[in-house]
Every structure is written in C-alpha cells, then in structure tokens.
Structure 1
Amino acid sequence: MRTLFKSFTLLLIITLLSATTAFAKDDHAKKSLVSLGDSIPYGYNLGNNNNASPSKHAFPYLIGEDADMRVRNLAVSGWTTDQMLSALKHDQKYRQAVRHADYVTLTIGNNDLLQALAKAGELSEGDQNLFLYHLNDQIEKSGVFGKITANIVQIRSLTDAPIVVYNVYNPFQVNDPLHQTGLFVLPGINEQLDLLIASLNFHYKNIAIADAFNAFGTNQAQYVIAGDIHPTVDGQRKLAEVGLETLNHFMK
C-alpha cells in the first residue's frame, strides 16, 4: 500500500509540474491576429496567381511580422457583408477561429459599395447629377451600414478581442473621373462608419477605426494597382501601418 501511495504521489507531482510548464508556455505564446474581410486583406492581384490563398504581402501578415503575432487570414475575395455574416453565424471553423483571436481586423462593405456604384452607373446613363443621386440611393438601399453593424455584433458574440475596422480608401486613380466622385462621396460614408463604431462602443468595448482613406490620400499611383482598385505592395504596407497604429492603443 505504501509503495502504491508513493507511486501515486510521484505521478501527481509529475502531472502538476507538466501542467505548470504548459501554463507557462501558454502565457508566453504569441498573440493571434484574425483578419476578416474581402479581397483587400486577402491581397488580391499581388502576384501572377494568388486565387488559391491570400498573399503573404497582404497587410494582416505585415502586421503579424511587425507585432510578432500569429496570423489567421480568413479574408475571401469578393465577399460582401451578407456573405461574411453568414459565415460568422453558420461556419463552425470560421467561428472557432474568431473565438480564439486575441485581435481582429475587419475590412468589409467595399463590394456592397461597388455594387451600388455599378447600379448607379447603369441607372444614370451618363448623367452626372443623376449618377450621384442614384449612388446615394443605392448605398442607402444596400443597407451596408446596418449589415456592418450586424457583422460586428456577431463578432462580439464570439470574442471580446479588440476589433480594428478599416474605413474605405479612394480606389480610383487621380486621372480617373471616378476619383472626384470618391472624394465627394467617401468622406460621408466614412463619417457614417465613424458614428457607427462610436455607437457600438457604448455597448461593446474595444472597437476602433483604422483610417485607410486619409492614409492613402491622393497617392493612388503608389498605393493602388494601375487599372485596378486593389492595393499595391506599398498600399498593403500603408494599411499595415495604420492598422498597427490602431492596434497599439489596445496593446499598451
């Protein structure tokens, strides 16, 4: 019996030591960043063919390198707010990844806005005044702000990790007529996004805006791929920079 007791005691000590080591290891483990969004955090068109997986030049990975974090990039090119919300509600692997996040970045709504832009162009038939009217009308009909809100609320139901929400940069080159449209429309869109985040912070803490719009300014030649709307490698670096600046407020 005494031998059995000694063996049990030894086994208990070994188990406790192993558990202590495991806990210490967890305490020093890298923090995790989960990036949710569309083709922008995916890093679309950064290379000959990156349709199969996100580009390592995309801003979530650049943030991870700078902040020494593990990165799970769940961005999907072409996703709208509806598609993301469906994944957050029903895709168990997606939900599990968000649950284990220490920090979250969110870049969504761009494709909703591009759809509104395309529909406005179709309805206006080249009339600039009608175009702006239809654009505002289509944006309102899209319900994009309510859907962004629903996505953030759903994220919050899964994790209390800080959330950095990217606003909308102007994707059109300075010599593109749509550049002026962007300068006219996007400040109002981003202001509504600011108000949305401020309101959500009354109910759910630790949500902040990363200001992509002012970070890009009128430097589309450097930050946006020519003939495209997606960020260049320099553009992704700029997005990483403003994202990390925002995240640093939560890391202090």
Structure 2
Amino acid sequence: MKSLIKIITVVLLVSFFVSLLASPAAFAKNDNAKESLVAVGDSIPFGYNLGQTNQNPAKASYPYLIGKLSDLRVRNLGVPGWQSDQLLTAVETSQKYRQAVNHSDYVAVTIGSNDLLEILRAAAAESGGDQILFQQLLQQKLNDSDVFSNIEETVREIRSLTDSPIVLYNVYNPFQLSDPFHHVADAFLPQVNAAFTGLAFSYDDVYLGDAYGAFGSDQATYVLPGDIHPTEAGQAKLAEIGLEAFGLY
C-alpha cells in the first residue's frame, strides 16, 4: 500500500512539473518584470491634442515612444495645464505620484512651459505694446517667479524617493516663425534654459533633455499649427533626446 502511495505521489509530482514546462506562461516574460519609466509634468508628456479626446495620455507621446523603443513599462502622469507648483505639490503629497516614482527605473520631468507662457502673456498685456516696457516686465516677472525654485524642489523630492536616472527637459520655443512671440521667446529662452542646465548638473544621475536645441527653429515640423504642443514628429524628437539622455540607445 505504501509503495502504491509513493508511486502515485511521484506520478503527480512529475505531472505537475510537466504541466509547468508545457505552460506558455511558465517562462514568458511577465510585464511586471520590465523596467519602468515614470513621466511627470504637463501637457507635453501627456501628448495633448494628439489623441481624439484628450481624456487620456496619447500613445504618440514621448514617454510611450521611449517605452516602446526600450521595452519599458510606462506610467504617464502628465497633466495638461499644470504649472511647476502643482507638480511640486503632487510629488510631495500625492501617494499616487510618490509610489510611482519610488518604484520607477527611469523618471522624465517636463514642467515650466505653462509658468513661462503665463509670464509672457502677462508682460505683453501690461506693456500695452511698449517693447522696452515689455522687456522690462518680462525680466522682472521672470526674476520674481518661483518656477525655478519649484522645479529644483521637485527634482530634489524625486531624488529623495528614488535613485533612478532622471531626465529633465528644458523648454522649446512653441511659437511658429511667423508669430511675433517666436523672436521674443528666442531672446529669453536661453537664459531660462541655462537654469535648467545648471539644475540638471547639480544632481547625480539627472540629465538634461535639450528640447530647445532639438526643436531649434523648425516649429513647422515639431509644433502643431495654431497650437503650442508637439506634433507626432515633435514627440518623436523628444523621445529621441530622452533615450539619448538616459543612455538607452
């Protein structure tokens, strides 16, 4: 009787292991085993105006393109309209953001454009067409803004949550060549982006995504007409510089 039980036990064990080996899921790569990219920021990583409804992040946005090209899971936490203070609050207080960052393998940060657009429009409205006054107001509002301190605090908070490499994207010129604001933006964005460069170099494993240099003056290709958001080609360019900055090429 004992021999029969032993034989049955061995048969059952063998059958169990054979069934595991035969299962297609036994050695298939689980999606949860992939490394992950977490993208935080505004409408740019969200891929605004590339989807049909803007209810969810667009699959053509740069975080998903990076994920597709590097076989990464992607958590896209971009929120259209967000300014730097809103992202800072999220990474400091939101469990969703903090847990996502904490479990990340790569983090992409794109923020600041909405702050700067607000400054630009306010200076234009207050100057009443006086170009000298406009430039003075623009510089004053930029100096008084918390945008750079907010972004620095955001990077610091992210770094406290993870030692994953971070790519910090700077600000591209969103205005077409025919728009008078194009030349205004080109005049003050180098100063703005120098702050992004200095911030990136202040931390270990924080790298600059040079959107400004990548887009250059080719807004016709990279920026949606009548809009300020990247085209699919613009998102692909952002993915390209992100991949390079992360060293994923």
Does structure 1 conserve the Cα–Cα contact (< 8 Å) formed by 2:51 and 2:57? no
> What corresponds to 1:160 in structure 2?
163
Higher helix fraction (1 or 2): 1
Aligned counterparts of 1:177 and 1:46: Cα–Cα separation in 2: 25
> What corresponds to 1:173 in structure 2?
176
Local SS of the residue matching 1:74: strand
Deviation string 1:105-162 (CA, Å, 9 cap, x unpaired) is 0001111111111111121111111111111111111121111100001111111110
> What corresponds to 1:217 in structure 2?
216
> What corresponds to 2:124 in structure 1?
121
Does residue 147 of structure 1 match 2:150? yes
Deviation string 1:225-246 (CA, Å, 9 cap, x unpaired) is 1111000011101111111111
Please report the RMSD computed on the Cα atoms of aligned residues, expressed in angstroms. Answer: 2.5
Q: Please tell me whether Structure 1 or Structure 2 has the larger radius of gyration of its CA atoms.
A: 2
Deviation string 1:38-70 (CA, Å, 9 cap, x unpaired) is 0000000113322x1100010000010111110
TM-score (ref. length: structure 1): 0.85
Query: How big is the shift at 1:35?
Result: 0.3
> What corresponds to 2:186 in structure 1?
183
| Paired AA for residue 214 in structure 1 | G
> What corresponds to 1:49 in structure 2?
53
| Paired AA for residue 50 in structure 2 | L
Query: How big is the shift at 1:85?
Result: 1.0
Does structure 1 conserve the Cα–Cα contact (< 8 Å) formed by 2:167 and 2:242? yes
> What corresponds to 2:229 in structure 1?
230
Query: How big is the shift at 1:88?
Result: 0.8
Deviation string 1:24-43 (CA, Å, 9 cap, x unpaired) is x78x9211000011000000
List aligned pairs for 1:88-127, cutoff 5 A. 88-127=91-130
| Paired AA for residue 96 in structure 2 | K
In structure 2, runs of 5+ residues without a counterpart are: 1-25
Aligned counterparts of 1:197 and 1:236: Cα–Cα separation in 2: 21
Does structure 1 conserve the Cα–Cα contact (< 8 Å) formed by 2:37 and 2:75? yes
| Paired AA for residue 35 in structure 1 | A
Regions of 4+ moved over 6 Å:
none
Aligned counterparts of 2:104 and 2:62: Cα–Cα separation in 1: 17
Query: How big is the shift at 1:95?
Result: 0.8
Aligned counterparts of 2:213 and 2:96: Cα–Cα separation in 1: 35
Does structure 1 conserve the Cα–Cα contact (< 8 Å) formed by 2:36 and 2:104? yes
Aligned counterparts of 2:231 and 2:142: Cα–Cα separation in 1: 27
Aligned counterparts of 1:112 and 1:152: Cα–Cα separation in 2: 17
Query: How big is the shift at 1:173?
Result: 0.2
Aligned counterparts of 1:33 and 1:48: Cα–Cα separation in 2: 24
> What corresponds to 1:36 in structure 2?
40
Local SS of the residue matching 2:143: helix
Pairs aligned (count): 230
Q: Bigger CA drift: 227-236 or 120-129? A: 120-129
In structure 1, runs of 5+ residues without a counterpart are: 1-21
TM-score (ref. length: structure 2): 0.86
